[in-house]
Chains A and B, each alone.
Chain A
Amino acid sequence: MKSSARGPTPYAYRICGLRVASEIDLPGAIPVAGHGAVPEVSVRLARLPARLDDAAETGPNWSLAGDRLLLHVPRLARYLITGGHSVDVELTPGATVHDASAFVLGTAFGILLHQRGALVLHGAAVARAGSAIALCGRSGAGKSTLAAALCQAGCEFVTDDLCAVEFDAARQPLVEPDGRQLKLWRESMEALDLVARQGAAVRGGFEKYFFEPKAIARDPPRLAAIYVLRESRPPRLDGIEALATPDAMRMLDLEAYRPGLRARLGSMPEILAQGVAMLRHTKVFRLVCPRSFDELDATVARLSQHWEQFAR
């Protein structure tokens, strides 16, 4: 399970506000020139057990023992996430480092942030003038597509998948960037007319590609609002509706990154305290809109107008 003694790790990144030293390339992460200080997170290649023998709890593809969580992605890799400070990866024979890296930046890092007690939503975020909005909603709801459309309309890109919320000295919630690229399905690329700027495939065999927006937020912007995307289907009509505090809290639970694991890894009083600290400054809305790409411009216009109203 231990990684053998090696020389300095070749890759250095800043991910969700953390200094990361990695033995593997993490495409999409924000590279830094090397960390003067000790890294907060290490990503290593290692030999890992098939299961944690002392696991207190197990799920369909994970087992949890104290501060260690072992995650198995079939035909790809096993990931051991420990104490909020390390991710060990063992590739399944035949899998590529590139393919395995997508899960380091996604699920593994989401779990690591939960281990650190951070508030992490599953969503994309964009910003303008130092103020950010997060777009949450279930997989396939159109979070990344809408974020890409907002970036095309002049917003800065902040996060694609992991929306980690930190608090500054004045207890204002800030969103930490998770990378410099959005991941978009081919059909979204086509609808947004971005095919010419399409990057590498996120994972071999999948029609999902990296796309690098023109403008990227440099400093973590303040999180002004969260919009939870819901598809408009009768009787649910298009619109934006503010959620009352108890409903907003419930929504934060549902929209957390891997909510089932979060509840196991975090303490309830801490989860409540963080949610309430955020809601002092961040409004939560339900955004009901069509999934059709044809309506994307209208949704961007509606959202921009709404954001304008309360972000002053």
Chain B
Amino acid sequence: MLQPDALLAPSGETYHAVLSDDEAVLMSAEAGRYFGLNAVGIRVWELLVERPRTIADLSAAISDEFDVEASTCQTDVLAFVQSLIDNGVLHEVER
């Protein structure tokens, strides 16, 4: 189970490209797979590309920028990063 203080970073060769304000595509070069990102997903990914972040950090930033209630936000961010981990484009880093 992923903890809110787990530090997360993009895995391997991944790239993203923005289609519009609320749609982007994430590409895993190794897996040859693509993932769709919405506006929140785009922002989460941008934050992770800048530097490794915890779920708590990500949730705080998203809650603030998108004006979402903090606990709902953390649940959604957790589910989103978990799906990225499951698909091999994100991993937990040791501190």
Nearest to B26 among chain A residues (CB) is: A246
**A250 at interface, CB cutoff 8 A:** yes
Given A246-B35, A273-B17, 5 extra CB contacts under 8 A: A246-B36, A268-B29, A272-B16, A275-B25, A280-B20
Binary CB contact string for chain A from 274 to 293 against chain B (1 if under 8 A, 0 otherwise): 01100110000000000000
Given B17, B18, B32, B36, which contacts A244 in the complex, CB threshold below 8 Å? B36
By a beta-carbon cutoff of 8 Å, the part of chain A in contact with chain B is 244-247, 249-250, 253, 268-269, 272-273, 275-276, 279-280
Task: Determine the distance from Cα of A276 to Cα of B37 in the docked complex, in whole angstroms.
Answer: 13
Given B15, B25, B29, which contacts A246 in the complex, CB threshold below 8 Å? B25
A-B interface, 4 closest residue pairs, ranked by CB to CB distance from nearest? A246-B34, A276-B17, A249-B34, A268-B29
Please name all residues of chain A whose beta carbon is closer than 8 Å to the beta carbon of B29 when the two chains form the complex: 268
Q: Are B23 and A245 in touch, CB under 8 angstroms? A: yes
Q: Helix, strand, loop or mixed for chain B's interface? A: strand
Please name all residues of chain B whose beta carbon is closer than 8 Å to the beta carbon of A244 when the two chains form the complex: 36
**B19 at interface, CB cutoff 8 A:** yes
Q: Are B33 and A250 in touch, CB under 8 angstroms? A: yes
**B27 at interface, CB cutoff 8 A:** yes
Q: Are B17 and A272 in touch, CB under 8 angstroms? A: yes
Please name all residues of chain B whose beta carbon is closer than 8 Å to the beta carbon of A253 when the two chains form the complex: 32
Q: Which of B13, B15, B16 has the most CB of A within 10 A?
A: B15
Q: Are A268 and B27 in touch, CB under 8 angstroms? A: yes
A250-B13 contact given A268-B29, A272-B25, A276-B19, CB 8 Å threshold: no
Given A247, A272, A279, A280, which contacts B27 in the complex, CB threshold below 8 Å? A272
Please name all residues of chain B whose beta carbon is closer than 8 Å to the beta carbon of A268 when the two chains form the complex: 13, 15, 27, 29
Taking the closest CB of chain B, its distance from the CB of A151, in whole angstroms, is: 32
